C-alpha cells in the first residue's frame, strides 16, 4: 500500500471520479497566462460560482485540472465557496496552481464535515491566498510535494496536514489561527520548509511534527522565522529530526517547544511569557538547545526530564520560575549544560533532581533561590533513591539569594 493518507468516505471519491470522467470542458475553461515552472498554463480555469457543484464551480475546475496535461491554473471570481460534500482530490499529472496572487476567496466546509477541504495527491501543486474554514476536520491535506503560500486556515481540526510523500514541500506567508492543531507533519518527511508563517491561539499545538522524520534521508524539516502566539504548545516534536531556528514565541500556555525522542535542534529563537516552560526536553537523545533567549515562563526557562546526550549551550534564561530544571537523568551519556547565562529567575538558577549532567562554564546570577541546587530523588514505591552527582566546572555564581551550591538543603 502507498504512503498516501487514506481518505474517509472512499466510496464518495470513487463516485465523484466517475462523474468527473463524463464532464465536458465548459466555455469558462480557456487558455491562460499562469507561468508555471514549465511555462504558461495549458488551461486556465476560473471559478465563477460559489455553489458546491455545477458549471463554474471549484468542483468542476478540479475535475478538469485532473485531466489536464502540463500545467493548469484555477482562479476565483467569487468571494466564497460553500461545500456540502467532499471535493475530488488533486490527483492528475498536471502541475496545478490554485488560488491567486492577492484576492483571498473563502472555502467553507459543511457543518460537521471532517473531510479535507482540499486534498493534494499529486506533485507540483501550489495553493495560494485562500482562506479555509473547517468544521472540525482538516482544511488542507497533502501526500505529495506542495507549495502553500499566503493561506489562512482557521477553525479546523488540523489546518494543514502533510504526510505520505510530501517531501520538499514549502509552507510560507500563511496564518493558522484558532485550529485544534495549526499544522501537522506525519511520517518520514525530508526537506520540508516552514518559513515566515503565523500560528495563533491553536488549541493543542501550533505545529506538530511526529513519526519517523529522523529516518528520512536528506535535509531535515526546517522551521524558520515563524511567529507563534498563545498556542497551548507552539511546536511539538516527537521522534523528529527538525531544525527550529529564528522564531518568535509569545505566551505559550504549556511550552513554546516540546521535544521528545532524538535529533531536534532548537536554536536562536526568542521565547517570551507563558504559563509553563520555554523548552521542554522529554526522554530526548542527541538534542541541541542553543543560543535561545527565554524569559517570563512560570515553571522554567528550560526543563529536561530523562533522556541522554542533550546539549544546552549559550542560552540566556532569565525572569522565569527556574532558569534550568533537570530531572531523572542517569550517569551514562550525560546531558551537557554549558556556557549559559541564567539571571534573575524566581527560584533557582539550575535545579537538578535525581540528575547528573555536566554543568560547565555557566553564569548563575541574581536568582531568587540558589544558583545551583542539587536534590536527591527519594524514589517511588518501586524505585531506588537517585542522587544528583553532576560534574560542576568553572561556573560563576553571583548575587543569588542562597550563595554557593546547595545540596539537599545544605550549602557546600
If residue 362 lies in a helix (H) or strand (E), which one and from where to where?
A: none
- How high is the pLDDT of residue 134? 80
CB atoms within 10 A of CB 112: 8
Interior CA angle at 83 toward 79 and 87, to 5°? 110
Concatenating the DSSP letter of every residue in 160-206 gives EEEEEE-TT-EEES-EEES-SEEEEEESS--S-EEES-EEES-SSEE
- How high is the pLDDT of residue 76? 95
Query: What is the sign, positive or negative, of the torsion defined by CA atoms of 55, 57, 63, 67?
Result: positive
Per-residue pLDDT tens for 73-125? 999 999 999 998 889 999 988 899 999 777 789 999 877 677 789 999 999 99
Query: How many angstroms separate the Cα of 230 from the Cα of each of 173, 200, 206, 345?
Result: 19, 6, 9, 22
Residue 217, pLDDT > 90, answer: no
Residue 26, pLDDT > 60, answer: no
Residue with C-alpha cell 560563576?
Answer: 396
SS3 for 87? coil
**Mean pLDDT in residue range 368-392:** 84
**Mean pLDDT in residue range 45-50:** 96
C-alpha cell at 185: 507533519
C-alpha cell at 247: 522564531
**How far is residue 89's CA from residue 120's CA, in Å, rounded to a whole number?**
6
CB 214 within 8 A of CB 191: no
Residue 231, pLDDT > 90, answer: yes
**How far is residue 324's CA from residue 236's CA, in Å, rounded to a whole number?**
20
pLDDT higher at 13 or 171: 171
pLDDT higher at 19 or 315: 315
**Model confidence, pTM:** 0.87
Amino acid at each position: 500500500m502507498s504512503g498516501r493518507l487514506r481518505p474517509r468516505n472512499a466510496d464518495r471519491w470513487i463516485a465523484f471520479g466517475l462523474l468527473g470522467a463524463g464532464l465536458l470542458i465548459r466555455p469558462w475553461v480557456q487558455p491562460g497566462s499562469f507561468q508555471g515552472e514549465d511555462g504558461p498554463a495549458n488551461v486556465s480555469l476560473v471559478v465563477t460560482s460559489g455553489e458546491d457543484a455545477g458549471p463554474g464551480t471549484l468542483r468542476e475546475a478540479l475535475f478538469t485540472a485532473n485531466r489536464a496535461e502540463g500545467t493548469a491554473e484555477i482562479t476565483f471570481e467569487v468571494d466564497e465557496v460553500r461545500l456540502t460534500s467532499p471535493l475530488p482530490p488533486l490527483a492528475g499529472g498536471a502541475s496545478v496552481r490554485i488560488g491567486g496572487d492577492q484576492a483571498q476567496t473563502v472555502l467553507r466546509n459543511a457543518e460537521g464535515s471532517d473531510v479535507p477541504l482540499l486534498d493534494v495527491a499529486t506533485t507540483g501543486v501550489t495553493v495560494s491566498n485562500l482562506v479555509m474554514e473547517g468544521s472540525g476536520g482538516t482544511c488542507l491535506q497533502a501526500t505529495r510535494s506542495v507549495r502553500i503560500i499566503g493561506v489562512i486556515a482557521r477553525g479546523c481540526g488540523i489546518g494543514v496536514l502533510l504526510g505520505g510523500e510530501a517531501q520538499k514541500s514549502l509552507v510560507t506567508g500563511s496564518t493558522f489561527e484558532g485550529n485544534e492543531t495549526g499544522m501537522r507533519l506525519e511520517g518520514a518527511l525530508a526537506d520540508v520548509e516552514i518559513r515566515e508563517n503565523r500560528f495563533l491561539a491553536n488549541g493543542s499545538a501550533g505545529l506538530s511534527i511526529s513519526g519517523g522524520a529522523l529516518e528520512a534521508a536528506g535535509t531535515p524539516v526546517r522551521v524558520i522565522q515563524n511567529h507563534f502566539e498563545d498556542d497551548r504548545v507552539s511546536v511539538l516534536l516527537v521522534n523528529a529530526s527538525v531544525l527550529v531556528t529564528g522564531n518568535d514565541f509569545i505566551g505559550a500556555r504549556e511550552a513554546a517547544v516540546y521535544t521528545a525522542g532524538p535529533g531536534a535542534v532548537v536554536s536562536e529563537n526568542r521565547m517570551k511569557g507563558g504559563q509553563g516552560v520555554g523548552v521542554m526536553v522529554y526522554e530526548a537523545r542527541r538534542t541541541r538547545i542553543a543560543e535561545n533567549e527565554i524569559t517570563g515562563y512560570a515553571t522554567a526557562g528550560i526543563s529536561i526530564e530523562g533522556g541522554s546526550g542533550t546539549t544546552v549551550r549559550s542560552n540566556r534564561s532569565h525572569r522565569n520560575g527556574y532558569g534550568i530544571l533537570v530531572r531523572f537523568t542517569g550517569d551514562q551519556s550525560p546531558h551537557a549544560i554549558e556556557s549559559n547565562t541564567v539571571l534573575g529567575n524566581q527560584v533557582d538558577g539550575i535545579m537538578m533532581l535525581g540528575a547528573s549532567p555536566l554543568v560547565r562554564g555557566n553564569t548563575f546570577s541574581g536568582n531568587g533561590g540558589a544558583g545551583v541546587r542539587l536534590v536527591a530523588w527519594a524514589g517511588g514505591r518501586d524505585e531506588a533513591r537517585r542522587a544528583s552527582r553532576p560534574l560542576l566546572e568553572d561556573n560563576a555564581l553571583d548575587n543569588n539569594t542562597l550563595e554557593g551550591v546547595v545540596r539537599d538543603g545544605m550549602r557546600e
